[in-house]
Structure 1
Amino acid sequence: MAFENAAFTATLTAAAGDDPALLSELRGAFRESLAQQIDLLHRSRCDGNWLVAAQRIKGLAASFHADELIVLAQSAIDAAPGDPVALRGLDGFLAEFDRVTPD
């Protein structure tokens, strides 16, 4: 899975302008929020908690125009709590995000 970051990067750049510190802070906030919601998915044992965490991931992805993440979040929304395929997809996205360095 390759992290498609063109729209994501454009969104961050539009928000941060020429401020590299702000760009880094926004990227970090996105990563932290995503990691927290993925962790909540891993720990979810009921439909309600699973659904809330998956919907938050989808909202976060939409806010930052991370289209690939929107698809993964929708897959989690449609899945049962603890679905290993949905969790692997989101974990893979986060791992790839961590490997990609900002332009």
Structure 2
Amino acid sequence: MAYHSTSFDAALATAAGDDPSLRLELRAAFTDSVARQLDLLRRARCDGNWEVAASRLHAIAASFHAPELMDLAEEARTAAPGEPTVLQRIDTFVEALS
């Protein structure tokens, strides 16, 4: 099942206008950015790296108006590095993007 959110879809529509190929390209860029930050979270071995990746994830989510991901990023930011439940929930979000 693909991720759908009214605010996320509206942000894509505003940015892409009537160009469906641009909308798909923006969605792919968002998905790639989220996946990259998830990878950085998985590889973080210290509080600083974890915090940076979580903060970047939050910023990406905010720029695309994805409140569910913003909440997950905030949860990650306050969790211990490598927290498996947070990583799994973000991974599930990434899978829904595909």
Instruction: State the Cα distance separating 1:6 from its structure 2 match.
Output: 1.3
TM superposition shift of 1:3: 3.6
Offset of residue 97 of structure 1:
1.5
Give matches, 1:1-103, under 5 Å. Answer: 3-98=3-98
Equivalent position amino acid for 1:46 in 2: C
Q: For the residues of structure 2 that align with 1:94 and 1:32, how far apart are their CA atoms? A: 9
> What are the ranges of 5 or more consecutive residues in structure 2 without an aligned counterpart?
none
Q: Deviations over 1:63-99 (max 9, x none)?
A: 010000000000000001000111011001111121x
Q: State TM-score, norm by structure 1.
A: 0.90
Preserved CA contact (<8 Å) 1:11 1:64: yes
Query: What is the root-mean-square deviation of aligned Cα atoms in Å?
Result: 1.2
- Give the total of aligned pairs: 97
3-state DSSP of counterpart to 1:81: coil
Structure 2: how far apart are the matches of 1:3 and 1:56? Answer: 20
Q: What percent of counterpart residues are identical?
A: 54
Paired residues of 1:4 and 1:68 also in contact (CA < 8 A) = no
TM-score (norm 2): 0.94
Shift of 1:4: 4.3
The separation in 1 between residues aligned to 2:18 and 2:82, in whole angstroms, is 41
Shift, 1:24, TM fit: 1.1
